[in-house]
Every structure is written in C-alpha cells, then in structure tokens.
C-alpha cells in the first residue's frame, strides 16, 4: 500500500482529494467533523513545505440551481480557522484563473478548488471519471494524495482520474480507516455484528459476507421488521421491505442460531416524536402500531451478547434516532459499549452521527467516516479510489 510516508513530497505541489462533503445550512457548516479529520494530512504536507491544493465534492450537482447551495467556499472559511491560516479559494474548477492562482502560491500556502461536482453540470465529467478532466487536474500538481474515504468506492475524475497520471499515495485518514476495518477480515472472536437502519435491501451484501464470520448478528432498527415478518409475526404499520422477505427467510433458515431478533419494541400509532412512550412485546403488536425503537428487553438481550465480545461492528441505528424518544436504546447500547470498553467499530453515516450527538464518538475504538464506502468494504468489494493507488 502506498501511503503518504512512502513518497518524497518535500517542496512539491501536492494535490489532496479530501472529503469536505459537510452538512451546510444557510451558508453555515452544521458539523465540520470531516474537515477536522482531514487536518492531519494537510498539516503534514504543510510541514513538508508543499504547495497544498485541495479538492473535494459537496452534495450533488444536477442543474444550475444546485450550484449555490453546494458552493464549497464556507469550507475555506472553516479550514482557515482550524489551520489559523489564510486559504486561497478558487471559484473556478479549471482554466487560466485557477492556474494563475496556483502559479502565484508560495510553498506553505493552501488553495481550495471549488466543488469538483461543478464539473457534473455538463456531461457529469467528475462523476463519470472523464479522462480529460482527471488528466487536467493532475497537470496542476506533482503528487496526488487521496484522503477521501467517503468517495473511495466511486471512480471519479478527482480520485481515480488524477491518480492515473501522478505519483500517488493514500493519506492518513484512509490509512487509519483501512487499518481499523481490516481487523474485521480475520476478526477476533466472539465477533458480534449489530445491524440497524431502515431497509434490509441496503445491507444484503454485508449480511451475506458477515454472517459466515460473525458469531452473532443482532438485528434492530426498521430492518428487524422484515425479518420478523418473514417469521410470521404481526408487525402492524412498521417499515417493511417486502422485496427482501425471501432473503430473510433464507438467512433465518441457514443461520437460525446466529441471527438475534428483537423481542420487544417502543411503539406508537404515529410516525412522530409526540406519541406517549410505550413498549410492547413482539407477540402483542396491533395492526395500527409502528415500531420506532427496540424495547428494553431487547436492549438487555443485545447487551448479553455483546458482553464478552472481542470485537463489535455496528452499522445502522436501532431506532428512529432522529426522534429524541426513539434513540434511547441506540444511545444506551453505545453507552454500554463505551462503559465496558468493548472494542467497537461503527460503520456508516447514521450510527456515527448518533454517536457524535450522544458524545460517545471519541470514546469508540473506530468510527468510520465513509457511509457507502464502509459498507462496500465490508461486503468485500474493491474500492476503486484505493485500488488505483494500491496497484502503483
Ligand atoms: P440506514 O441508512 O439504512 O442505516 O438507515 C438509517 C435510518 O434508519 C435512520 O434514518 C432511521 O430513522 C431509520 N430507522 C431506524 N429504525 C427505524 C424504524 N424502526 N422504523 C423506521 N425507520 C427506522
């Protein structure tokens, strides 16, 4: 694996592909965790007296009106505060103005280029890895560092494209991600997987791969209802992923002792935070009820399985954590893992967001920054943004 330490980057023009895809509301960054996580690589390049050129996407650009809300300039301001340094911002993603800005940089300066997906407006050049665009961006520097784990599962011009034309390496953030996630390839046992989130269909690949490696898979969240329906339970108006029932039946048949399903739920008759908090055993579900969180019996059951785990991998919240009332058991299990110092990897956006707001993220062994990328890695797929560099 080519990591940043393997290259001589001293006094070079270094292009770093970061993941600055942060939530922005009314021009203000709501959560700058991703920017903070990119600092180690940026600071290292500054210490090596590089001209640092940063690229990132932000949101999706399909039409003109997407441009302003996905303008990357608030990131320049945030980064400037975090680095205590002026950040040169280029409104242009290519052309003479950008080239002159780079030409005029001093070594030790940082320049951020406008959202790479501005190039998607005509012909999706960034997202379809247009070869001319990748080659052009590569021509702006001497070395390429990919540190955007969140997009490593996609072949875009700003990762695979550039890496195809320059000496390249992985940054510290990706290196850290791979180190943590690779412990799951030959995991220590008991290896316990916790899966939650909305639908089974998004997690089929992960279930197929992890069911052979894990000692137990604890299933909560909306996903659990499709498994329970497959077992013949009444699930009321809870979320159901009809198309995955057959898959659930198969998994339950082949791995009945490995799959642990909820025995009770926090229920409501409406999909909102305003109902009265009430828990019910799965056998007592009424037709008009919706399960919005696992119940406390299930929490205790899950904790019993987690208690002796050598490692836990957790993807997806166990309830509708966006509603305060129904994030309770996700928070409680996070607390249990932290309190008992159980080695835990959180994979994917929602569970990491839940851990962040509950204040547990920093106390967890590893919180993976990539949503789709983490899932694809766990499914055993090759990530093109990393493979292109690994092959070099
Ligand atoms: P995912 O992206 O698949 O991990 O799904 C995360 C989403 O699952 C969150 O937005 C949660 O609100 C949702 N979720 C978790 N539990 C439930 C549930 N019991 N019913 C409906 N949605 C749920």
In sequence order, what DSSP letters do the residues of 148-192 get, joined into one string? -GGGTTS--IIIIIHHTTS-EEE-HHHHHHHHHHHTTTS--SSEE
Whether the CB-CB separation of 214 and 193 falls below 8 Å is answered with yes
| Nearest CA among 324, 268, 331, 332 for reference residue 300 | 332
Contact yes or no for 144/15 (Cβ under 8 A): yes
pLDDT at 194 over 90: yes
Per-residue pLDDT tens for 218-240? 999 999 999 999 999 999 999 99
What is the 219 CA–ligand 1 centroid distance (Å)? 12
- In angstroms, the CA 298 to CA 54 distance is 46
Active-site residue, 95 included: no
Residue identifier of the C-alpha nearest atom 6 of ligand 1: 197
Is 209 an annotated catalytic residue? no
Question: What tens digit of pLDDT does each residue of 64-85 get?
Answer: 999 999 999 999 999 999 999 9
For ligand 1, atom 1, name the residue with the nearest CA.
197
Q: How many CA atoms lie within 13 A of 41 on its CB side?
A: 29
Average pLDDT of 324-346?
97
Lowest mean pLDDT among 34-43, 357-366, 383-392: 383-392
C-alpha 57/C-alpha 77 separation (Å) is: 16
Query: Which range has the top average pLDDT, 5-9, 28-32, 298-302?
Result: 298-302
Report the DSSP pairing between strands 51-55 and 13-17.
Answer: parallel
Residue reference for tokens 């050049």? 125
- The domain made up of 4-174+386-390 has a fold known as Rossmann fold (3.40.50)
> Which of 195, 222, 240, 279 has the most ligand 1 atoms within 8 A of CB, as the residue to mutate?
222
CATH number of 185-359: 3.40.50.1260
Q: Which residue has the tokens 């009770």?
A: 264
Average pLDDT score over residue span 53-69: 96
CA–CA separation, 151 vs 59, rounded Å? Answer: 12
Judge whether 209 and 32 are in contact, CB under 8 Å: no
Given the residues 43, 280, 372, 392, select the one marked as catalytic: 372
Identical topology for domains 4-174+386-390 and 185-359 = yes
Strand order in the sheet with 278-281: 278-281, 264-268, 290-294
Binding site membership of 134 for ligand 1 (Cβ less than 6 Å): no
Q: What is the mean pLDDT of residues 179-204?
A: 94
Cα separation of 276 and 383, whole Å? 45
Whether residue 91 is predicted with pLDDT greater than 90 in this model: the reply is yes
Is any ligand 1 atom within 6 A of the Cβ of residue 133? no
Q: Where are the domains of the chain?
A: 4-174+386-390, 185-359
pLDDT band per the 50, 70, 90 thresholds, residue 353: confident
Across 280-292, average pLDDT: 97
The span from the first CA to the last CA of the chain, in angstroms, equals 9
Whose alpha carbon is nearest atom 3 of ligand 1? 197
Q: Are 304 and 341 in contact (CB under 8 A)?
A: no
Question: Look-up: residue for tokens 């210490």?
Answer: 47
Q: What is the pLDDT of residue 65?
A: 95
Please, which residues bridge with residue 170 across strands? 3, 146
State the average pLDDT for the chain.
95
Query: Sorting pLDDT into bands at 50, 70 and 90, what band is 392?
Result: low
Listed in sequence order, the DSSP H helices in 72-170 are: 73-83, 96-103, 131-138, 162-163
Residue 1 has pLDDT above 70, yes or no: no
Q: Which residues contact 164 (CB under 8 A, 6 or more apart)?
A: 134, 135, 138, 388
Tell me the C-alpha distance between 255 and 208, whole Å. 11
Lowest mean pLDDT among 73-82, 247-256, 365-374: 365-374
The pLDDT of 296-304, averaged and rounded, is 98
Residue 120 pLDDT level (bands cut at 50, 70, 90): very high
CA distance 82 to 90: 19
Query: Please, which pLDDT band fits residue 371 given cuts at 50, 70 and 90?
Result: confident
DSSP 3: B
Evaluate: CB of 317 within 6 angstroms of ligand 1. Answer: yes
- pLDDT tier at 128, thresholds 50, 70, 90: very high
pLDDT for the residue 370:
83
């Amino acid at each position: 694996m080519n990591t940043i330490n393997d290259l001589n980057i001293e006094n070079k023009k270094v292009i770093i592909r970061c993941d600055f895809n942060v939530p922005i509301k009314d021009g203000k960054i709501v959560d700058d965790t991703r920017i903070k996580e990119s600092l180690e690589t940026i600071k290292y390049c500054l210490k090596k007296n590089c001209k640092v050129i940063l690229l990132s996407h932000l949101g999706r650009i399909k039409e003109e009106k997407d441009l302003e809300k996905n303008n990357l300039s608030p990131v320049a301001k945030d980064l400037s505060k975090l680095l205590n340094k002026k950040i040169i911002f280029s409104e242009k993603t290519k052309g003479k103005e950008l080239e002159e800005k780079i030409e005029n940089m001093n070594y030790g300066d940082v320049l951020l280029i406008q959202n790479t997906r501005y190039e998607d407006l005509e012909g999706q050049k960034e997202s379809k890895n247009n070869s001319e665009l990748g080659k052009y961006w590569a021509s702006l520097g001497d070395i390429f560092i990919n540190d955007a784990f969140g997009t490593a599962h996609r072949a875009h011009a700003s990762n695979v494209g550039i890496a195809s034309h320059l000496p390249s390496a992985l940054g510290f953030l990706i290196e850290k991600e791979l180190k943590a996630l690779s412990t799951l390839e030959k995991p220590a046992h008991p290896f316990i997987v916790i899966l939650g989130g909305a639908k089974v269909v998004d997690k089929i690949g992960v279930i197929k791969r992890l069911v052979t490696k894990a000692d137990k898979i604890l299933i909560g969240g909306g996903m659990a209802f499709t498994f329970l329906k497959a077992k013949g339970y009444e699930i009321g108006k809870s979320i159901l992923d009809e198309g995955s029932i057959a898959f659930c039946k198969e998994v339950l048949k082949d791995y009945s002792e490995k799959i642990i399903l909820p025995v009770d739920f926090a229920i409501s008759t409406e999909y909102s935070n305003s109902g009265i908090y009430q828990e019910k055993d799965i056998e007592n579900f009424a037709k008009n009820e919706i399960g919005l969180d696992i119940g406390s019996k299930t929490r205790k059951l899950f904790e019993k399985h987690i208690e002796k785990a050598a490692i836990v991998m957790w993807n997806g919240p166990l309830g509708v954590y966006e509603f305060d009332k129904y994030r309770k058991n996700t928070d409680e299990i996070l607390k249990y893992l932290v309190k008992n110092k159980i080695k835990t990897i959180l994979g994917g956006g929602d569970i990491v967001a839940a851990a962040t707001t509950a204040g547990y993220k920093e106390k967890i062994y590893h919180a993976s920054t990539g949503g789709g990328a983490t899932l694809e890695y766990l499914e055993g797929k090759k990530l093109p943004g990393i493979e292109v560099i690994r092959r070099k």
